[in-house]
Structures are given as C-alpha cells and as structure tokens.
Structure 1
C-alpha cells in the first residue's frame, strides 16, 4: 500500500510539469470510445506469484484484451482544470500473469476526477497529458468489489476537437480476495461544447473580447477600421491609421493627428492645432478675415494701416487716419472763423452792373482772393447766397438774387473750384441785415455771402 502511494505521488509530480488538457472551457463535454486491456500481474503481489509494482508493465502477454471497442467514457469540464468522468467497460479475463484461467467476464463502472494543469503549462493541445483519481465497482464472474483508482493518460489531437486517447488506471482493491489490477485504454475522444458568446468562432476562454466579435489574429478582439491594430490599442479605432501613431491618421502630413487637427485636410502649424496661417500673423486662416494679409487679432486678422482703429477692409481712407463716422476718412479741413469773416467781407464787395447779374471787372481781384481761400480747403463745401434791398418788386428781387448768386458760382468754377463743392441760392429781399429806409441800409442789404456748409 505504501509503495502504491509513493508511485502515485511520483507520477503526479512528473506530470505536473507538462499537463495540458484538451477538455476545458473550449470543450466542456467529451465522450471517449476505446479498447481495454486488463493486467493483473504488476500489482505488488509477489507472494501470490505475481510481480512487484510495475514489473513487466509493458508485457502484453499478460494483457486481457477484447479487440472490439469495449469502453465508453463521458467527461464534463467543471472548471479550474478539473474534469468529472463516468465510464463503463467490459472485457474478459483468461490469464493472470503467465497463468491461463477459464474465461471470466469483466464489467466495470468508474467515476472520478481528472486534473489538468493548464494554468501551469499553457502550451499547444497537440499533446495533452492528464492525471486522475476516483473509484469504480467491478464484476468478475460471480464476485464484485470496489476499488480506489489512480489514472495517468494523454490525448493526441487528430483534428479539431478529435483526439487519440491513451490512459492507464491502477485499481486498488482493499480486500485480499479482490484482485488489484491495471486497466489500459486506447481509443478516440470527441470533445464539444465551446462557449462563444460573440459568435466570432473563437471560444470565450481564448477570446480577449468575448462579447465583441473579432479576429483570430487578435485573440477575438475587433479591428473596426482594418488598419491591423486592434481596437483596444487603437487611439482611433474607427479610422485607419499607421501603427507609428497608434492607429490615428494624419491626412495632411503636418504631424498633427486628424483627431486633434482642426484643419485635417490642409497642412498647418502645431501651434494652431494643425491649421495654416498664410500671412503669418498668428491667426489661423479659418479665423482670419484677411488670410493673405498680416493683421491684428482685434480685427480678426485684418490690418489697420493708418492706425485709426478702423480695419483697412472697412476703411475708405486706409492710408490716412480718420474717424469712424466718416468710415475711416479724416475730417475735412474748414476755414477758421477769421477766414470765414474774410470770405464774406470779400463777397460783399463784389460789384454787379446796375439791376443786372453781370460782375464788374473791378471785382476780379476780390474773386481771386476768394478762390485762394477756397483752394486751401479742398474737402469743404460752400453755399453762395444772393440778397437784395427792397427796391422793386419782391419777385424781381428774388430773381435778381438767384442770378447774381449763380453768376458768382460760375465765376468760381471757371477759376478752378469743383462745382460739386458749391451751391447757389437767392433770397431776394427776405433777409435784410440793415434798414431799407436809408441809403446806407440798402447798400448793406445788396450783398453776396459765401458760407461754409455744415
């Protein structure tokens, strides 16, 4: 008995270095059909004319064999490397060691647990050894007895989920009248029952992404964009990109990845999140209202050449500082009060022929002086106002004042003043500045005025 347990422990130690079991989460169910050989010789019963433990273990002349399939086993993978088994077998006994005996029928019903060390040796399942313990109940002719069993065996994969199975079970009977023996088995094992939650053909126990359909090359994980980088390691799993950038593309090649690039199809600057700055003013073209001309941020990238606070694009006088109400143009220069008084002083001395609107030649110098003042203010506009005294009819006075005002306008235009700067209007006797009852007053009322238009 002590020898048996020593051998059993030794076998467990040796097998623990290399056991991988074909039946696991991938294949929870298995059924084996095989041929059995019963050997009653190498069981440590030397005093009964048999051999010691494992003596002549491979001497097939001691084997009791039925060549037809005589054993069926069903296994279910429980988990953590453990498989539960139930088996039934039949054979015949016609020899005990070298001694021939009358044919005796042999029936056995076995149950037990097998242990595979998949966590220790996670290699290929082309060769899958295992170790087991259990018990069985045997019938040999008219006797029956129970045994404690120890099993070693292995599977060799023939095809997907199909294995060639070889195993040896030592069956230890504790009653002296019950024979200890070895049962050798060779057969075919069929395994099935893989769980594949996502239906991608990769069992859950081998699938790193068991709830998402994926590819075999990525252990069941998907590569949604097909760039050869599985989604879990792909920074841009829905857009194909190179491995060098963790699966993210850089369409415009500006070193800013598309996912971070605000202008992914146009090469730009890292500092501007991948957008270009054509005019180099630090404002991305997409935000620059004047992308080809350097400008200021406060004007959305447009320049203000004259520095008047009005962007050139809105400035009608971009090279000359102006004011907003004049759309960037400067206020026009205007005559001073003294010059205005001088203009009217000159205008009042313009002489006309009596009761006519023709200007006398003596007024030529006066008009020249007026033209000199007007030329100093090319942007200023003036009105020429004609007035009369009350002598004569109101209608005739109105007409005469109109004619004289327009006569002065024509003279000034002929002298080089732009016509659009001047307007002429007669007021007749309606705006006297002195008493028309005196000669001096009438003379003051007969006048021409040149006034700056506001």
Structure 2
C-alpha cells in the first residue's frame, strides 16, 4: 500500500513537471491529487448497512480514510463543457457499516475508473459538475466492474490551481463486491492550453495564433529576422532597417532598395538612387557618355548621334545611316537581304565550261552591286560551286575561276576590293541531287555570303 502511494505521487510529479508552462484559462488538461474516503453504509441495503443516504456524513463510524496520498486523476476537456478523465485510487477498508464482527480488517482497496463529466459553469471560481462512467474495483482479491455516478465541484483559487471535491456512487455488477460511495478531495492543476501554430505561445496570448512567431512580438512572425515583425515590415522577406520600415538599403545611399532603381550602386535621390558620375543630370545607366557631361537630349554626350541609332557620330562608321551598336552604327544584313543576294547570284550565267560571264547577266550583277553598297562596311565572300560532271580537280578549278570572275566584276564596278574575297568549292557542297539535270543545274551556282567578324 505504501509503495502504491509513492507511485501515484511520482506519476503526478511527472505530469505536472512536463506541463509547467500552462497559462490558458481554458487549458484542456487537469490533474487532481488528494485523498479518498470509501463508505459502504448509506446504499439502501440490509444490515449491517443503512438506507439510502442514511448517516451520509458520519465519517467517524463509516468512512474508510487512508491518511496519505490515495487518489490521482487526469482529465481532458473535449468540448461543450464535457471532459473525459481516468482516476486511480487506493484505500484500506476496516469499516463496513455497523458490522461489529469485522467483516473486513485492513482489507486493501484499489480502483480505476473512467468518467465523462459535464461542467455547468465554465470559467468561474465555483465550477460544479456531474458525471457518469465505469471502472473496476478490488477489495483484497475480490474485483468486479462498477457503473459510477458522480457529483462535485472545482473551486479555483487561481487560473490554474484549485480544490476539487467529489462524491461518486459505485454500483457493482457482482454480488461479491458491495456497492459503495467514494468521496474525494484534492488539489487540481489545469494546463496544456491550445497552441494552434505550435510556436510555444498559447492562443489566448498569441496575436497571430495561426502563424508561428516570436514571444517578443506576442506570437507574430519576423520572417527575415531583422527585429521588425512582418505586419509592420514593408519588406518581410528581406532583412532591413527600422528607418526604412524593415526594407534594406544595399548600396547605403539612403534610398531603400524597393524605391531604388539602382539598388546595388550608390546614387542620388533625384535619379531614384542611380549614380550620375559626370553630374549632367543623366543617370549613368542611360548616359552614353557617363564620364563626360552632355545634354539629356544628346543622351548625356557632348557629341551628337545624327542618325539616332544609339551610336555617337564619333564612333559611328555610318553616321548618316541608322545601324546597330553591334555593327558600329552601320546597318546589318538581314536574312531576307542575304537570300535576295544569293537569289541574284544564282542567275549569273557563264559561258559553257568557262569562267567568262555572259553579257546579259549585267542587270543581275548591278542589282547585287546596289545591295552591297547599302552595307558599305560589310564584307562578303564570293563562292563558286559546280555539279559532279567531270573530274573533281577540274570542277574545283572552274568554280574557283568563276568566283574570282564575279569578284573582279563587282570590284570593277564600284565595290571596294577589301570587302570581297573569292573561293571555289567545286562539287563538294551540293544543294541538290546530281542524278538529275534539274539537280545538277541547281548545284552549278555562285553564292555571295556575308563574312561574320
């Protein structure tokens, strides 16, 4: 018996110590520890017992009380005023009604019971309840199941600690275990409040109960860890400064990154945080001459861009013709123009087996010259090709001669010689089959292709 009492006390310590942070007034868990009294007398049965509730408070003659810790219970709030609990108790039986013969003499009593309780006045100092349940009780080695009815009250001294007074009637299912009353008094502790977001702060104290947060922000998060809670942080996912409402200023120019058009380079407020190295009022990123002051109308440069192609006249090889930066201000040959060039080149006619150009190809050649002059800084290669008729050596020689013949014609009619080169490939690069006359005709051709530098 003494060892069981110690065991109950040890169980209580473990449960309480594991929940010392309880704070919620509606905390769902409750532990009660105390003493119990077992009374076999006022149960409405024959001698040596009395009628129902006869001498109900005659503790001296009828109550069996163990002078030590003898009961412990744990219950869980399940909603709508209902709790479910499990209790364990022990006692020593030496009083059985008016039995002077001593039916029991220091008999051991053990009970374990489960109870569903309904609390009438939740959140009040006086908290009465009723309950119903069942359990199993042993007196010495005699044990049987019981159905139990319970009535009692909690008296809360603080939000979490109170006194519980309870009496239960236990009706035995077996004749060999007598029905009886069991009275309990003990100290109760409530704990284990709801923490929906699992951040260690109970919902009633959590300003953000559905988002894990920090204690210093009443349970609200600070995602970027900059000491400013997310709800007050204009940049909640980037660590920043309080003066910018939690937003960073990476370049330290006094303009927060979210408002800074150049967040990684220190600049001035007038240009949304972008620098102006030459002080001409044009941000360096838009200034074509960032180190030389110039008017905004001239993109910050002291030199003009006559053709407006983004390349200053001093660097523009075609200052009067719009071009591209990649081509030094000159126009770039498009794929369509390239196809047009080769369409013309394929119609250049030569004398059979020779490299001499037939006179009526002059118009075609002039069209080619006109195109080349539109791109005065572009370089081209004139390529000659043949079909597979004849020896490869003779075909290579003929293609080389025809390519050179076309080059000489073009340079002789106004195209700068440095812009052209010539090369023959013979029959090595056919574009059609050599098995048909139409295919061989397509393979006998001249191509003029752009040289990409």
Please give the range of the TM-score, normalised by the shorter of the 2 chains: 0.3 to 0.5
TM-score, normalised relative to structure 2: 0.41
Whose radius of gyration is greater, 1 or 2? 1
